[in-house]
Structure 1
Amino acid sequence: MPVTTATEPTHRLVPSPAGRIHLVEQGRGPLVVLVHGFPESWYSWRHQLPALAAAGYRAAAVDVRGYGRSSRPAATDAYRMLDLVADCVAVVHALGEESAVLVGHDWGANIAATSALLRPGVFRAVGLLSVPYTPPGGPKPSEVFAQLGGDEEFYVSYFQQPGRAEAEIEPDVRGWLAGFYAALSADTMPGPDAPDPHFVGRGGTLRDRFPAGRTPSWLSEDDLDVYAAEFERTGLTGALARYRNMDRDWADLAGHAGAPIAQPSLFVGGTLDASTTWLADAIEAYPRTLPGLVSSHLLDGCGHWVQQERPEAVNRILVEWLDAVSAS
């Protein structure tokens, strides 16, 4: 790989079907697009941008539509997966490239996987953090989530009704975010005997089960200020719209039911993350669903926010994988 000089991070706005996508890029070399999840922003990749740049890559971390400084369409159905795939393609082309490697975390992993599935000519490799790949198909998502939890309500169902979660979050964005991040972080998550923070008790809120007065070690006050300032400015509706399109996605992608992703792929999860324990069968199915899998890693004692909880380990894994993909 040619030796390159890492540059300082640069903020850009590029055209996309959403209107404009904000991104932060750093480095020179093959393009790697980084896609965040809920409730985050490009800032969740702050540790990866300089590491990838130093390794000889051009890293571009986006604000997904509805977040941060990217456009926020008003219509709920403007946040369906097909639209987010189109945004990813637009980013690659706006940066002057025909193809890129795509890496996503949380919802960003779903966006990255679907983009790789639908546009293999644009996305030559895909990395998934925290949320395993599950091919399209199966039962209707809203029906599945409605059956979880018995008398309690699964958080995805709780997020469905426009305005409901916003009414909980927006009066104290900073406090809610701090609690949500803590609930899913290895060093602050509730113990196994505590009520599960992924569920809402009858007549309650998600925040009822967040750890009180506990801040994850990876989250400084300045980091929390960055996240809170963005959501205080934009509100949460654009971010929550992703959850409100899951049934539309299910219908849109019905023609790809069971489809594998053939490109070189990577998975990184945490052993204490519910996403990896609930979806353990999806990880076991990788020989069929990700036949191009180069490596899969479960970081012991790590929670959901893998690239922020374990930045050095994730950076090493990403660079080794990218170098292997480039060599092949």
Structure 2
Amino acid sequence: MTDRIHEFSNDGLTFPVTDEGPLDGDVVVLLHGFPQTSTSWNAVCDRLHAEGYRTLTFDQRGYAPTARPRGRRAYRMSRLVSDVAALVGATGGPVHLVGHDWGAAVAWSTAAGRPDLVRSLVAVSVPHPRAFLGSMLISSQILRSYYIGLFQLPWLPEFACRRPRLLARMLSGTGMTPEQIAAVRTEIVDRAALTPSLNWYRAMPFSHPRYLRPVEAPTTYVWTTGDTALGRRGATMCSRYVTGPYRLDVAGGSHWVPEEQPDLLTRAIVDRISS
């Protein structure tokens, strides 16, 4: 495919797309996490273009102003995966898929439920969903994930996140810089993406078991020792749920790998694709 993709549609929603890099390069689709948008991939995308890859990013369901359905069921994993499938279909697919945080959860689920769409997978921070769930039973992961329970509450999370000082305190504790926190306020809070993005968490009880299947695609999982949200146990369990070639990359640093360590992450992506 030699034409740029400017947008795609799914479920009656419209998703603007940023399509950059060499048109004849292998296509890499990068999925952002919470509470960020596709701009979190800018530094990595620039480096991938220099390596000869074409990158596609988009603000996912709830984050894009033209793709904000009402109600938490609209944000269950099957719908998030269907959005990725629609974009991959527009490229002629399959693609190399990369995801960070919630984007990693969607990437794992896409590779598990729609293996025909994924040539290779790089998941950052969040492990395979079965490794994540399993680690809760035998490690400190359940304590690290306390906020998931809080996000199930109506109104209170929105109230807290709309208080600038409280939001800054929460996010700085995870390793976010002041510049990143300012971007969260602008891109998520001020642009009315807060409740839709929290609905991703509120839709978790409606996930289908098909997305817990092992992944066949060649996979790299990147985990950082300073991640306050995801522990080591989930990282070490992850290999159990990949049947294809697998690699675990462990680095120092916080949860916010795409912006904090773009060189390291770009190398992990390039190594996975080239292998």
Match of 2:106 in 1: 111
Greater displacement, 85-94 / 69-78: 69-78
User: Unpaired segments of 5 or more residues in structure 1?
Assistant: 1-9, 186-214
Are positions 1:246 and 2:197 aligned together? no
Are positions 1:274 and 2:268 aligned together? no
CA–CA separation in structure 1 for the residues paired with 2:237 and 2:149? 26
Are positions 1:26 and 2:20 aligned together? yes
Q: Deviations over 1:201-220 (max 9, x none)?
A: xxxxxxxxxxxxxx62xx53
Shift of the alpha carbon at 1:285? 2.9
Q: Deviations over 1:59-114 (max 9, x none)?
A: 112211001445100121000000000000011122x3221111110111110000
Shift of the alpha carbon at 1:176? 4.9
3-state SS in 2 of match to 1:46: helix
3-state SS in 2 of match to 1:234: coil
Are positions 1:179 and 2:176 aligned together? no
> What's the TM-score, normalizing by structure 2?
0.86
1:168-317 alignment to 2 at 5 Å?
168-172=160-164, 175-185=165-175, 216=177, 220=179, 224-231=181-188, 232-249=190-207, 252-253=208-209, 257=212, 259-277=213-231, 280-300=232-252, 302-317=253-268
Whether contact under 8 Å (1:68, 1:230) holds in the other structure is no
In structure 2, the CA distance between the partners of 1:260 and 1:177, relative to structure 1 (3 Å rule), is: same
In structure 2, the CA distance between the partners of 1:270 and 1:19, relative to structure 1 (3 Å rule), is: same
CA–CA separation in structure 2 for the residues paired with 1:155 and 1:276? 12
CA–CA separation in structure 2 for the residues paired with 1:127 and 1:18? 29
> What's the TM-score, normalizing by structure 1?
0.73
Are positions 1:60 and 2:17 aligned together? no
Give the aligned residue type for 1:309: E
Q: Deviations over 1:148-175 (max 9, x none)?
A: 55xx992111100222211111243xx5
In structure 2, the CA distance between the partners of 1:275 and 1:18, relative to structure 1 (3 Å rule), is: farther
Whether contact under 8 Å (1:79, 1:245) holds in the other structure is yes
% identity of equivalent residues? 29
Are positions 1:120 and 2:105 aligned together? no
Shift of the alpha carbon at 1:49? 1.1
Q: Deviations over 1:118-150 (max 9, x none)?
A: 0011112111001111338979x9x99xx955x
Give the aligned residue type for 1:307: P
Q: Which has the larger helix fraction?
A: 2
In structure 2, the CA distance between the partners of 1:308 and 1:138, relative to structure 1 (3 Å rule), is: closer
Shift of the alpha carbon at 1:284? 2.4
1:38-53 alignment to 2 at 5 Å?
38-53=34-49
Give the aligned residue type for 2:60: V
Whether contact under 8 Å (1:21, 1:91) holds in the other structure is no
Give the aligned residue type for 2:218: P
Shift of the alpha carbon at 1:228? 2.3
In terms of Rg, which structure is larger?
1
CA–CA separation in structure 1 for the residues paired with 2:260 and 2:159? 29
3-state SS in 2 of match to 1:47: helix
Give the aligned residue type for 1:243: Y
Match of 1:210 in 2: none
Whether contact under 8 Å (2:131, 2:235) holds in the other structure is no
Whether contact under 8 Å (2:130, 2:241) holds in the other structure is yes
Are positions 1:102 and 2:92 aligned together? no
Match of 1:163 in 2: 155
Whether contact under 8 Å (2:216, 2:242) holds in the other structure is yes
Whether contact under 8 Å (2:220, 2:246) holds in the other structure is yes
3-state SS in 1 of match to 2:250: strand
Q: Deviations over 1:201-258 (max 9, x none)?
A: xxxxxxxxxxxxxx62xx53xx554432222122411000011011111xx22x565x
CA–CA separation in structure 2 for the residues paired with 1:54 and 1:276? 31
Match of 1:201 in 2: none
Q: Deviations over 1:168-208 (max 9, x none)?
A: 11243xx55543431111xxxxxxxxxxxxxxxxxxxxxxx
User: Unpaired segments of 5 or more residues in structure 2?
Assistant: none
Whether contact under 8 Å (2:131, 2:241) holds in the other structure is no
Give the aligned residue type for 1:298: V
Whether contact under 8 Å (2:110, 2:211) holds in the other structure is no
Whether contact under 8 Å (1:266, 1:294) holds in the other structure is yes
CA–CA separation in structure 2 for the residues paired with 1:56 and 1:86? 28
3-state SS in 2 of match to 1:121: helix
Aligned length: 266
CA–CA separation in structure 2 for the residues paired with 1:273 and 1:247? 25
Whether contact under 8 Å (2:7, 2:17) holds in the other structure is yes
